Structure 1
Amino acid sequence: MSVVLACLDADSLGGVQQVTHTIAQGLAGRGHEVHVIGLHRSPAPFRYVDRPLYHHHVISRRPLDSTGRLARGRADGKLRRLLEGIRPGYAVMTSPSAVARMAGLLPPAFRPIGQYHGSYDHARDTWHLASIRKHYPSLDQAIFLSEDDAWRFSEHALLPNAWSLPNPLSTWPEETSPLDSPRVLGVGRLEGVKRFDRLISAFARSDAPPPWELHLIGDGGELARLREHAAGEGVGDRVIFRGRVPAARMPAEYLAASVLGLTSEHEGLPVVLLESAAHGVPSVAFDVSGGVRSAGPVPVPSGDVAAFAGALGRLVRSAGERRRLGAAARTRAAAFRLDHVLDGWESMFAHIDR
């Protein structure tokens, strides 16, 4: 069969893109014809797979925010021609925007599937929920990241076609962290929604003594403000901004960490929680979705920096607690191994065909 995975932008650094390329490589490795389609060019492409087994297409060479009506029409024509040249199968549109853009352009031979990588709570607080209510019920399947979120969309958005499929781990590490390095890790884009200012504040208030450091991996527009915030919290010399790290080097970062912190305003099922858990690294996270809870971090009420600092401090001070929670996290992470998740995708395709 053929599987098309379409994103507004398939190549920027982000969770949707990482999961898309991981699923594409996995399904292609099982013998399926797979196409990853980016509707727009990424202004800063990131390479997720060194030797892709799937086909990769970019429809518009213009970034998302620079496309006029005429260019949009030409891009839609190019997309139609591309899809008509792919044998019949499944078209997975990875966001509400992709569904709204593509659903009317699909040839009849494609079974339309809509993904949503956020939580129900996030959708409810944005335009996403209205778009999902409008466009997703007519699709063959609507995919969410946890059973909790799938149920909530089914009940509150009146979706008759809700299904849950978690994000996968791209690999399963054989080595785990010894959890003896004085390092807390944060991973993600340095943008407002990730709220690394809260992670910096929690680290400063956790009573983590020197030589403990907070290492932040990622880049973005908040770098200068976060540096200033770290200095204001009195930990400017112990918050290390690492910039981008290639995907191939991330396992070494997890092995060198003892705790991971996640302070985002909203998340669906962040891969960083799964990757840290697979390396035996315990995590503390704001409890913002069923997907976050399914990954098994120490949950903290959303936005409660004092509670986050307390949970982080307990892990910093107790190697025994780190090892206990790290072992439990790795056991839980086994459910997100790529083969298990790919089995779920193939089961969903079979369900659609019935």
Structure 2
Amino acid sequence: MKICVFGTRGFPNIQGGVEKHCENLYTHMPNDIKFDVCRRKSYVTTNTTFPNINFVDISNTQKRGLEAAFHSLASAFYAIKTKPDAVHIHNIGPGMTAPLLKLFGIKTVLTYHSANYEHEKWNGPEKLILRFCEHIALKYSDRIIFVNKEQMGKYSAKIQAKSVYIPNGVNPPINTNDTSFLKQFGLEKGKYIISVGRITPEKGFDKLIEAFYKSDIKNEYKLAIVGGVEFENEYKKQLDDLIQDDKVVFTGYACGENLAELYKNARLYVLSSFNEGFPLVLLEAMSYNLDIIASDISAARLVKLDDSDYYPPSDTNELAKKINQKVLSDFHNKKYDLSEYDWKKIADKTASIYKEMLHN
């Protein structure tokens, strides 16, 4: 069986939740399934290979709003030319190509990661286009995988009949005793709060910084924001303007052992997002047994933290209060049941979707 994959910038070690999802999903797949993964050439930084994956690197524009559309069309034409057994599309924007693929007799699986039109970075017309893409993607895809079961429940019985909930997964934590990456940013073990994500408005980092400076721990602890900037330079400038001293640091994008260092040695993890599909970063923080505070959004509720771990999004006073409560209490690692989020089980479930769809 051969599956063509697009809707991701690519992998390995490319920033983004969809990118991390795809890296883990396809590298855990059964060896009897082969994949053509269409990557956006400008993001590729490594020649790493995997036994069952053929990377197809396609030149792309990096204009916001056009990048995904152009790459998705180019990838769809590649699939039409090579005639795979099926195409696996990631997210609703690239899902606009589903009717084109259907026209050429190619079956499609859509993974619905998030309602992108809810993100603040898009203007009114762009949000309307994304809603139209969602309508087309859901209507014409043969099977749909939702990583968020609450999102799946919003649609008609007809859509749900061809849909299945399969969550994101998490890998075992990397055991490292190195602290050299921490030292580059003046971070000390157990003396900083961490938050991870691409620097975009929906991540709520501005509210997190405001809450940190309202807290009682701002003089003894630091806040480390881990993520890179792509198109949101104005938002990054807004964040820079909020910083009052050296207590808030941006590490840029981190992965592998560098990211493991940051997770392992943090005192607390905070998810300040307004919108998420299924936050992989929460699972990662849980795998390192970190204490957690999360904004009370439906996606964050999927991991079933204690009620006291959630706060109303945008409420910086309540977030500051919870930061004080967590950090000033006795430190203890927490234990979480992550058995549901095993990538091998998730890959096997996804593979069964392919086989069932093609058999039918």
- Return the TM-score normalized by structure 1: 0.81
Which residue is 1:4 aligned to?
4
Answer whether contact 1:24 1:36 (CA < 8 A) is retained.
Answer: no
Output aligned runs, 1:117-128, within 5 Å: 117-119=113-115, 122=118, 126-127=127-128, 128=130
Seen in structure 2, the aligned counterparts of structure 1 residues 257 and 351 have a Cα distance that, compared at 3 Å, is same
**CA–CA distance in structure 2, aligned partners of residues 85 and 249 of structure 1:** 39
Tell me by how many angstroms 1:186 deviates.
Answer: 1.1
**CA–CA distance in structure 2, aligned partners of residues 284 and 318 of structure 1:** 14
Q: Amino acid of the residue matched to residue 312 of structure 1? A: I
Answer whether contact 1:260 1:281 (CA < 8 A) is retained.
Answer: yes
Tell me by how many angstroms 1:56 deviates.
Answer: 1.1
SS of the residue 2:326 aligns to: helix
SS of the residue 2:243 aligns to: helix
Q: Amino acid of the residue matched to residue 314 of structure 1? A: Q
Q: Establish whether residue 32 from structure 1 lines up as the match of residue 41 from structure 2.
A: no
Seen in structure 2, the aligned counterparts of structure 1 residues 288 and 129 have a Cα distance that, compared at 3 Å, is farther
**CA–CA distance in structure 2, aligned partners of residues 82 and 134 of structure 1:** 19
Which residue is 1:264 aligned to?
273
Which residue is 1:280 aligned to?
289
The partner residue of 1:212 within 221, 238, 244 is 221
> How much identity, in percent, do the aligned residues show?
18
Which residue is 1:58 aligned to?
57
Which residue is 2:236 aligned to?
223
Which residue is 1:164 aligned to?
165
SS of the residue 1:252 aligns to: helix
Q: Amino acid of the residue matched to residue 93 of structure 1? A: I
Deviations 1:238-275 (A, max 9, x none): 11221222334211211111211111221111111111
Q: What is the RMSD computed on CA atoms of the aligned residues?
A: 3.3
Which residue is 1:137 aligned to?
139
Tell me by how many angstroms 1:317 deviates.
Answer: 1.4
Answer whether contact 1:137 1:159 (CA < 8 A) is retained.
Answer: no
The partner residue of 1:315 within 322, 326, 332 is 326
For structure 1, the residue ranges without an aligned partner over 5 or more in a row are none
Answer whether contact 1:145 1:269 (CA < 8 A) is retained.
Answer: yes
Which residue is 2:183 aligned to?
none
Answer whether contact 2:176 2:260 (CA < 8 A) is retained.
Answer: no
Which residue is 1:97 aligned to?
93
Which residue is 1:115 aligned to?
111
Tell me by how many angstroms 1:64 deviates.
Answer: 5.1
The partner residue of 2:344 within 322, 332, 339 is 339
> How many equivalent pairs are there?
331
Answer whether contact 2:101 2:107 (CA < 8 A) is retained.
Answer: no
Q: Amino acid of the residue matched to residue 169 of structure 2? A: P
Tell me by how many angstroms 1:16 deviates.
Answer: 1.1
Seen in structure 2, the aligned counterparts of structure 1 residues 36 and 273 have a Cα distance that, compared at 3 Å, is same
Q: Bigger shift: 6-15 or 199-208? A: 6-15
**CA–CA distance in structure 2, aligned partners of residues 110 and 8 of structure 1:** 19
Tell me by how many angstroms 1:288 deviates.
Answer: 2.0
Tell me by how many angstroms 1:6 deviates.
Answer: 0.7
Tell me by how many angstroms 1:148 deviates.
Answer: 2.0
Seen in structure 2, the aligned counterparts of structure 1 residues 23 and 83 have a Cα distance that, compared at 3 Å, is farther
Answer whether contact 1:216 1:242 (CA < 8 A) is retained.
Answer: yes
Answer whether contact 1:80 1:106 (CA < 8 A) is retained.
Answer: no
The partner residue of 1:182 within 182, 186, 191 is 191
Q: Amino acid of the residue matched to residue 33 of structure 2? A: H
Q: Amino acid of the residue matched to residue 85 of structure 1? A: T
Q: Bigger shift: 58-67 or 185-194? A: 58-67
Answer whether contact 1:153 1:162 (CA < 8 A) is retained.
Answer: no
For structure 2, the residue ranges without an aligned partner over 5 or more in a row are 178-187
